[in-house]
C-alpha cells in the first residue's frame, strides 16, 4: 500500500513537478503479464522516476547497500526502499549474479513487471556500458519479453554524488518489446546469452543515443577512480616544499 501512497500522494507528484518527465512509447509496456523493463542507469533518481510514470507497479533489484546504511539516515533509506517494494541484492561474491536472478525470477513468477539495469551500476560519465547477461537468463527462463527503456536527462538532473537534483527536463522512452522465444531452452549457452544481452543494449542505445563503451561499467569506474588517485599523487609530488 505504501508503494501507491508514494506514487500518487508523496513522491510521485513531487517528482513530476521537479523533473517534468515526458514519456514516449508508453504503449509498449504491456498492461498485464510478466515482463522485464531493461534500461540505462544514469542517476539515483532513475529508481523513482520510472515507477512515477508507469501505470503498473514495477519492482527493481536494488543494491544491498541501500538497505544496510548506518545511522538514522541508513535506517530511513532502508525503510523507504523496502516500503516501495524494492528488493535488496548483494552484488559481491561468486553467488551475487545467481542471487539477483533468483530474486528477479520470483517477481516475474507473479506476473509482475521487473525493472533491471543490465549495466549493473550507474554510469559515472553518462555513457552506456556493456550489459551483464543476467537479464538474458531471466528473459529466457521466465519466457517473458524485454522492453528496452532509455532515461534521458537524469544524468544532468542528478549526476553521481549530487544529493539535491537540478531542475532539468527528463524524457523516459520505451521501445518495442523484444521477443527471444527463438532461443528457448538455451539459457545455459554463453554465446546465446551474450548475443541477447547485446541486442538489448543496442535497443537501449538506439533509444538513448548515448556513446557506447564495450566495457563493464564497474571496471571503467574503477579505472577512472585509480587514474584520479594517481593524478592527485602526481600533483602532490610536484608541490613545492617549505
pLDDT tens, residue by residue, 44-58:
888 778 888 888 889
Mean pLDDT, residues 27-31? 96
Confidence of residue 36 (pLDDT cuts 50, 70, 90): very high
Name the grid cell of 65. Answer: 547497500
Q: What is the mean pLDDT of the chain?
A: 85
Q: Name which residue leads in pLDDT, 235 or 5.
A: 235
Task: Confirm if 201 and 52 have CB atoms less than 8 A apart.
Answer: no
**List of residues 6+ apart from 186 with CB closer than 8 A:** 140, 192
Q: Which of 15, 107, 14 is nearest to 62 (CA)?
A: 107
- 119-148 per-residue burial string, b: 16 or more CB within 10 A, e: under 16: bbbbbbebbbbbbbbbbbbbbbebebbbbb
Rg of the chain over Cα atoms, rounded to whole angstroms, equals 19
The yes-or-no verdict on residue 241 having pLDDT over 60 is no
Placement of cell 556500458 in the chain: 129
Instruction: Report d(CA 84, CA 1) in Å as an integer.
Output: 9
CB atoms within 10 A of CB 78: 17
Mean pLDDT, residues 186-207? 97
The yes-or-no verdict on residue 13 having pLDDT over 60 is yes
Q: Name which residue leads in pLDDT, 220 or 240.
A: 220
CA distances from 145 to 113, 119, 150, 160, 186 (A): 10, 18, 16, 30, 16
| CA 191 remoteness from chain centre | 23
The yes-or-no verdict on residue 189 having pLDDT over 70 is yes
Q: Which of 107, 128, 109 is nearest to 119 (CA)?
A: 128
What domains sit in the chain, N to C, each tagged with a CATH number?
2-216 (3.40.1130.10)
Instruction: Report d(CA 158, CA 178) in Å as an integer.
Output: 29
Question: What does the chain come to in residues?
Answer: 242
Q: What pLDDT is attached to residue 114?
A: 96
Q: What pLDDT is attached to residue 110?
A: 96
**List of residues 6+ apart from 220 with CB closer than 8 A:** 124, 125, 129, 213
Tell me, what DSSP letter sits at residue 24?
Answer: E
pLDDT tens, residue by residue, 64-118:
777 777 887 777 777 767 766 677 777 666 666 788 899 899 999 999 999 999 9
Instruction: Report d(CA 190, CA 124) in Å as an integer.
Output: 28
Instruction: Report d(CA 10, CA 16) in Å as an integer.
Output: 11
Instruction: Report d(CA 198, CA 46) in Å as an integer.
Output: 22
The yes-or-no verdict on residue 175 having pLDDT over 70 is yes
CB atoms within 10 A of CB 21: 21
pLDDT tens, residue by residue, 118-154:
998 889 999 999 999 999 999 999 999 999 999 999 9
Amino acid at each position: 500500500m505504501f508503494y501507491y501512497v508514494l506514487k500518487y500522494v508523496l513522491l510521485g507528484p513531487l517528482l513530476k513537478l521537479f523533473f517534468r518527465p515526458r514519456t514516449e512509447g508508453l504503449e509498449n509496456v504491456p498492461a498485464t503479464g510478466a515482463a522485464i523493463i531493461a534500461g540505462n542507469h544514469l542517476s539515483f533518481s532513475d529508481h523513482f522516476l520510472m515507477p512515477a510514470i508507469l501505470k503498473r507497479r514495477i519492482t527493481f533489484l536494488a543494491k544491498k547497500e541501500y538497505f544496510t546504511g548506518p545511522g538514522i539516515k541508513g535506517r530511513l533509506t532502508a525503510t523507504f526502499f523496502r516500503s516501495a517494494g524494492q528488493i535488496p541484492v548483494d552484488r559481491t561474491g561468486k553467488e551475487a549474479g545467481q542471487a539477483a536472478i533468483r530474486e528477479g525470477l520470483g517477481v516475474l513468477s507473479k506476473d509482475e513487471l521487473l525493472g533491471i539495469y543490465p549495466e549493473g551500476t550507474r554510469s559515472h560519465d553518462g555513457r552506456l556500458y556493456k550489459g551483464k547477461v543476467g537479464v538474458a537468463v531471466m528473459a529466457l527462463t521466465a519466457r517473458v519479453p524485454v522492453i528496452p527503456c532509455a532515461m534521458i536527462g537524469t544524468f544532468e538532473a542528478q549526476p553521481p554524488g549530487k544529493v539535491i537534483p537540478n531542475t532539468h527536463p527528463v524524457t523516459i522512452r520505451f521501445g518495442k518489446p523484444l521477443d527471444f522465444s527463438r532461443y528457448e531452452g538455451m539459457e545455459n549457452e554463453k554465446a546465446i546469452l551474450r548475443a541477447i544481452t547485446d541486442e538489448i543494449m543496442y535497443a537501449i542505445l538506439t533509444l538513448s543515443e548515448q556513446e557506447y563503451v564495450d566495457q563493464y561499467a564497474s571496471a571503467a569506474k574503477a579505472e577512472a577512480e585509480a587514474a584520479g588517485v594517481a593524478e592527485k599523487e602526481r600533483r602532490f609530488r610536484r608541490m613545492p616544499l617549505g
